Structure 1
Amino acid sequence: MTHDTLLRQILDHANRADPYPLYAELRKTPVLQQGNDLFVVSTYWEIKSLLHDPRISSDLRNLSPGAAGTLLQEEEASPLPPAFLRLDPPEHDRLRRMSMRPFGPPESPRRVHSMRGELDRIVSGLIDDFGDRNQVDLVDDFSYPFPVTVICRLLGIPREDEARFHTWADTIAAGLDPDPDQDPGERRRVSQEARTELGAYLSGLVDERSTAPDDGMLSALINQHSGTDGQMTRMEVLSTAALLLIAGHETTVNLITNGMLTLLRNPDVLERLRNDSGVALPIVEELLRFEPPVQLLPQRTTLADIDIAGTTIPRGASVWLVLASGNRDPQRFPDPDRFDPDRQDNQHLGFGSGIHNCFGAPLARLETQLALTALVRRLDGPRLVTDPPPYRQNAVLRGPRHLDIAFDGLRAR
């Protein structure tokens, strides 16, 4: 198999259900050069090194035209400026610090913890809505609506507007995972329309919260003042809110869905979780290694020549970091293709590493722990209807598009 063929097979939707044998083949060349200016890095220590290397840029403005070729679809154009996820220091550091103040330590150390009761209520309500059915699509009925509802509560979206917010989120998510049978022009039009409507709604809410603050995160972003960092501009607030919606939503959907799929394939682990909620934490950490919601980080750019694993990646090259391959690297993880919640030293790459380590990781972890625990306790005799399930088109945000689960009934809360 040629290098070109291997990379195209990894991106081919036909292999989405199980890309891991292809990743094993990819790791035989830890730094694979594709064409003149695309380098694919697939082994754990090399990925970890580059995630911490300041000579790797996440700013799309540094990406040379055509550097990534046509192998991966470009992100949708946005009228908003780049969120901090797509910036380098010092701009990245300022915006990330300002976003963290109302979200986590040190200024808001109990923000995520204090949401636990609300998360429990949302999870229970969604499962109750299964009603008398004996089969559900976990994605449509649970994994998608759960994190969007959480983000609404986190930002401070009025309850009466949550349904509209859900519709916009679903439309934008569909744009990130294109249907091959849909007209591309129509898909872009619908997605852009949803982004525009969402942006207009959030802009109006920014105006409201500027004069009538509440305890939501959007209000905090608008009204915080820092002697060092100043104040976020309106456009920076809107970019950060959009990042929370899209990035936080999509990763959590995949993590929950991949998690339930993995548990149903490993009934002994499912039974352990049903009997002991304390095992939820190591289960989720192993899921992040074994079936990470983000498979690879494309569109990184070198700001200088970098020597790694015997290869020189030249300045201005495009770099793809295949996190899911690094997570299965046998040089780092013994027996890496086995799902093992008792695994020790599980320093996976599921949420990345370095300055761009996932901003919402604490919330995603808690959401997934609560979701999986509630599902396995309340679904009586759960089983997969189709295995493997149909997968999303997106090669970066890999997860089932649908996950049909049959069960004998609901157990009481």
Structure 2
Amino acid sequence: MVEETPWQQALRYANRANPYPFYEELRRTPVARQPDGSYVVSTYREVVQLLHDPRVTSDQRKRPDTPSNPFEATIITEDPSEHDVDRRRMMRHFAPPECPQTIADFEPEIRRVFGELLNDMKGKTRVDFVDEFAFPGPVTVICKVLGVPLESIPRFHGWIEAALDGLDFGPEANDPEQQRRTAAVPDQVAEFRQFLAGLIDQYRKQPGPGMFSGMVNDGGPEGLSQQSIVRNAMLMLFAGHETTVNLIAHSVLNLLRHPDQLEKLRRRPELIVPGVEELLRFESSVQFWPTRSALEDIEIAGTTIPKGAPIFLAYGSANRDPERFENPDRLDLERPDNQHVGYSQGIHYCFGAPLARLEAQTAVGEFVRRVQNPRLVEDPPPYRRNQIFRGPRHVWVDIDGIRD
């Protein structure tokens, strides 16, 4: 039996709750070739270097093997100049300079959404802070931002979950049960695409609130095509659906695991801003991204990544690199110089980072302020299957009540 590499072990579902010992071993070889010919980059300095290296492509069409992926042909899988043009077309409906107040204007609604979720917990003594808080809050917000009807959440949630469960980059990819999940992905993605295409057609006929309508009815010289709008709409719902959910769920989990930090945040609520950055560093919502490859031979950390080779930049490992972060396995809400890569860096820096930060700051701040005497029921909790968007499936917490 062939011994598995640390990367292969980190990707096994049994190790989803704690991949960090395998990341620690992986960092001994900062750029490590895998049996399938891919290269995993696990140290902070090298990850950041390659995030800014134009010899690294995110466009799967430039790879010899061109794998199937739900995120194909979106801004996150494009290179300049195509990427720059499409991202600019989208950003003008979401962020400065054209829409400087979009995120700030949503703050009262975000507070209302999370406040009502906590109000709904009154009278309960046990709560699942994934199903009842970390999931419905961000998904409600992203639907309002994009212009997706809230009543459609159960439908697209099922498609997204099934599609993500079908992605496996580790040694279990060929297991019969995983192959069954993988075989279901094209149908799930096709249904999701059809749903969004129908919604976008509706906005073309009758404009409404939200970013999708703005993109569809953009009368500027650089309007997005229908196909591009649908593909990027899928990306925004995928990413907005998963990353902030996992950030909030992990934040609740890790504050309860570190009662000294929870109490510090309770005493000093102004620490919520640096605190959320530390919580994201500590548990990266996106562990790696699977679409990058080398446009030419790249010499880095004593290794040559050959032209055409797939490259996995392991954000989850880089954010625990002791060469960059002192005592990286310690949660420190006052950590100085916390330049993590939880939202990536370079041209593919997370499109929705400002919104995610505001949601997490609001949700975690209100959790700390209002939830009385929270105690973890199960640790570690069960995790979802997906390796990219790593997060707990449930976080059960016993509570004494909810403050007003």
Q: TM-score, normalised by structure 2?
A: 0.92
1:126 to 117, 129, 138: 117
Closer/same/farther in 2, CA of residues 174 and 273 from structure 1, 3 Å limit: farther
Q: CA deviation at 1:374?
A: 1.1
1:41 maps to a residue whose letter is V
Question: C-alpha displacement at 1:3, in angstroms?
Answer: 7.8
- 1:218 alignment partner in structure 2: 212
Matching residue of 2:40: 40
Query: Which is further off, 53-62 or 161-170?
Result: 161-170
Equivalent residue pairs, number: 397
CA-CA distance at 1:59 after TM superposition: 1.2
1:149 and 2:143 are equivalent in the alignment = no
| 1:186 positional shift | 6.3
Q: Distance in 1 between matches of 2:26 and 2:80?
A: 31
Question: 2:233 aligns to what?
Answer: 241
1:208 equivalent in structure 2 = 202
TM-score norm. by structure 1 comes to 0.90
Matches within 5 A, 1:102-113: 102-113=93-104
CA distance in 1, matches of 2:378, 2:273: 27
- Whether contact under 8 Å (1:30, 1:41) holds in the other structure is yes
Q: Between the two proteins, what is the percent identity of the paired residues?
A: 46
Q: Shift of residue 239 of structure 1?
A: 1.3
Distance 2:11 2:187 in 1: 28
Question: In the alignment, is residue 278 of structure 1 matched against residue 270 of structure 2?
Answer: yes
Name the residue aligned to 2:159. Answer: 171
Kindly provide the CA deviation profile for residues 17-65 of structure 1, in whole angstroms up to 9, marking residues without a partner as x.
Answer: 2111211111111111123731111111110000011111111222232
**Structure 2: unaligned runs, 5 residues or longer:** none
Supply the distance in 1 between the matched residues of 2:179 and 2:312 (Cα, whole angstroms): 27
On the 8 A contact 1:55/1:303 being kept in 2, the answer is yes
CA distance in 2, matches of 1:197, 1:59: 24
Q: How does 1:322-341 map to 2 (within 5 A)?
A: 322-341=314-333
What is the rounded CA distance, in whole Å, between the counterparts of 1:101 and 1:133 in structure 2? 43
Output the amino acid matched with 1:7: W
**8 Å contact from structure 2 (residues 6, 23) kept in 1:** no
What are the ranges of 5 or more consecutive residues in structure 1 without an aligned counterpart? 67-73
Letter in 2 for 1:44: Y
- Partner residue in 2 for 1:71: none
Change (3 A) 1:327 1:3: farther
1:320 to 307, 312, 334: 312
Cα distance in 2 for partners of 1:270, 1:174 equals 34
8 Å contact 1:102–1:217 — kept in the other structure?
yes
Q: Does 1:296 align with 2:284?
A: no
User: What are the residue-to-residue correspondences of 1:24-173 with 2, within 5 Å?
Assistant: 24-35=24-35, 37-65=37-65, 82-157=73-148, 161-173=149-161
Specify whether residues 247 and 260 from structure 1 end up closer, same or farther in structure 2 by C-alpha distance, changes over 3 A only.
Answer: same
1:188 Cα deviation after fit:
5.6
Which SS does the other structure have where 2:293 is aligned?
strand
Change (3 A) 1:188 1:396: closer
Secondary structure of 1:312 counterpart: strand
**Aligned-residue offset at 1:389:** 0.9
Aligned amino acid, residue 120 of structure 1: R
